[in-house]
Amino acid sequence: MQLIELKSVYKRYSNGVPALNDVSLTISKGEFVFVIGASGSGKSTLIKLLYRQEKPTSGEIFVGGINVAKLRNGKVYKLRRKLGVVFQDYKLLPKKTVYENVAFALEVYGLKTSEVRRRTLKAIEQVGLKDKVRSYPSELSGGEQQRVSIARAIVNDPKILICDEPTGNLDPDMSMEVMGVIESINKDLGTTIIMATHDKDIVNKMKKRVIYIKKGMVAGDNMKGRYKVDESD
């Protein structure tokens, strides 16, 4: 089943800078995909298009059956309910506990308190932080903070988890710790993972599908690929 499909997608910013040029690709349900490329290659733009932070100049983007390219601003919430997004900088609320940071993502759904608690504790346990529910972000390591942000992203059982440089602020040990959590979400929950990264070690160790973006185009798409990027682009 094709969960994500891009058809002849172009993206040009208002200042005239071209970011993507005729990108077409598909991602199936349950896949784990790395998106790599040099800075300025269009990698981050591609990721932002998937969760509708940006809109394409032309082309079609289907995510979970929704035509993202034609989605009106007032309907973006329908897409976001199918997605979880993890950022490089955690985006945690400093005055809220781990539990409160994760539960906060469910408040918009008007669920019963008991259901919020059940889902929140389940997500926290899935990322291995059951003993940290009452801790505040400042009391956690960088790897633990990122795991909280992952719990927040999966608390509503999304079909797709989009990770934008999630290990960019972490040392190698913490990076692999976080990647272990993300891989378990893919394997145990069947969640489709799309991850943009510059981390060569992670890509080479994990041997997942690798999509290489170069000058706004798909320059490589390999199953069990390795990190090969021309940084001069």
Please determine, for residue 219, whether its predicted confidence score (pLDDT) is greater than 90: yes
Give pTM, 2 decimals: 0.93
HSE toward the beta carbon, residue 206, CA cutoff 13 A: 26
Candidate from 19-23, 38-42, 128-132 with smallest mean pLDDT: 38-42
Give the number of other Cβ atoms within 10 Å of residue 185's Cβ.
24
C-alpha span between 226 and 203 (Å, rounded) = 6
Mean pLDDT of 178-188: 96
State the pLDDT at residue 231: 67
Give me the residue spans of the domains in the chain: 92-157
Residue 233 pLDDT > 80: no
Residue 187 in this model has a pLDDT that exceeds 90: yes
For residue 232, pLDDT over 70 is answered with no
Residue 121 burial (CB < 10 Å; 0-12/13-18/19+)? middle
Predicted confidence at residue 1, as pLDDT, reads: 62
Q: How far apart are CA 32 and CA 87, in angstroms?
A: 17
Encode pLDDT of 95-142 as tens digits: 999 999 999 989 878 889 999 999 999 999 999 999 999 999 999 999
More confident residue, 185 or 228: 185
User: Which residues, listed in sequence order, are joined to residue 9 by a DSSP beta bridge?
Assistant: 23
% of residues, the chain, pLDDT over 70: 98
User: Beta strands of 13-65 (E only): which ranges?
Assistant: 18-28, 32-36, 58-63
Q: Which pLDDT score, from 0 to 100, does residue 58 have?
A: 96
Tokens (6 digits) for 126: 């899935």
Of 62, 203, 169, 201, the C-alpha closest to 212 is: 203
Question: DSSP character for 129?
Answer: -
Tell me the pLDDT of the chain averaged across its residues. 94
- pLDDT at residue 107 in the model: 83
